[in-house]
Amino acid sequence: MLDRCRAACFSTFGPPAETVAIRVLPLPPPSRGEALVRMHLAPVNPADLNLIEGTYGLKPTLPAYAGLEGVGMVEEVGLGCELRIGDLVRPIDGIGTWRNFAVGSAASFLRLPPLAGSYDLVQAAMLSVNPATAWQILEQANLPRGSWVIQNAAGSNLGRCLIQLARERGLRTINLVRRMEIANELKALGADAVFADTRESARMVAELCGDEAPALALNQVGGESAMTLAKCVAPGATVVTVGALAKQPLSLANGLLIFKDVRFIGFWITRWYAQAAPAAREHLLSQLATLTAEGKLWQPVATTVPLSRITDALAAVNQPCRNGKVLLDCQA
């Protein structure tokens, strides 16, 4: 009988490698309306690191559990639980995904919709953040087919998701990267153009697009790179910020706002999930799961590290030129 679990915990905010540790915790059996979930895989996302550092949009009460995304399977349910044994789920509400088992109410888990086939657990573990973010940004923009979309940090998993989902909508993408050696990888996913993220980017984009400048930009970087995006887009375009990888504030010329009427907004998938109706959440995940099963949406993994070696996983995240996510094997 299971009565203990292992979870990545932190009692202070600070550098993840210094503050996160694996703890053995009591694991009560599921009571009425609750489920016991065996966690399989969980990615290490930038948001996870921000949560531990205390710089995320949500600041948990300490001590707290690490991990915001992942996939697990329901193994046991209490009376009246809406979940069923065998359901694939993602823990939410601060349970933490960097653990081997979790117990919580049905509302504490986001259920992945059933597929005609079977899920690839690796891709399922990464389904609810980056693909969902890219999908919602494109959905809300509602651009006509053939429109240009531009983004920075295009080699990230979010950037790769945007390329693939834009392709499915008949949109064309311009992708700014730090390392041009990944250009062929991105073009294989459907990228129409890949440029180095430099001060020359605006000129190259103008030459490519002519009078059809991008109406939408995705900013993951901030700083000067965000300014470059703003220079590339059409008058009245929208620049959506979802991250700040450069750890620098947005730096904008007044003329971009006054004369070009560029709109700057933010998007946070956590807020969208909190505000969306259950049917909308299920529809989103169903669309993404179907595309993944059809081979039309895929995210790379750089390495998979046992949960018991959490410090190695955190070190792997900081490796230069890493190509893909670091995943935690929650059962190892």
Catalytic residues: 56
The answer to whether residues 214 and 232 touch, using CB atoms and an 8 Å cutoff, is yes
**Could you tell me the two tokens for 187?**
């073009």
Is residue 63 exposed (0-12), middle (13-18) or buried (19+ Cβ within 10 Å)?
A: exposed
Phi, psi at 286, each rounded to 5°: -65, -45
CA distance 42 to 122: 9
Tally of helices (H runs) and strands (E runs) in the chain: 12, 16
DSSP bridge partners of 5 = 25
230 phi and psi angles, rounded to 5 deg:
-65, -35
d(CA 74, CA 51) in angstroms, rounded, equals 26
DSSP letter at 234 equals: P
> Letter for the amino acid at 72?
G
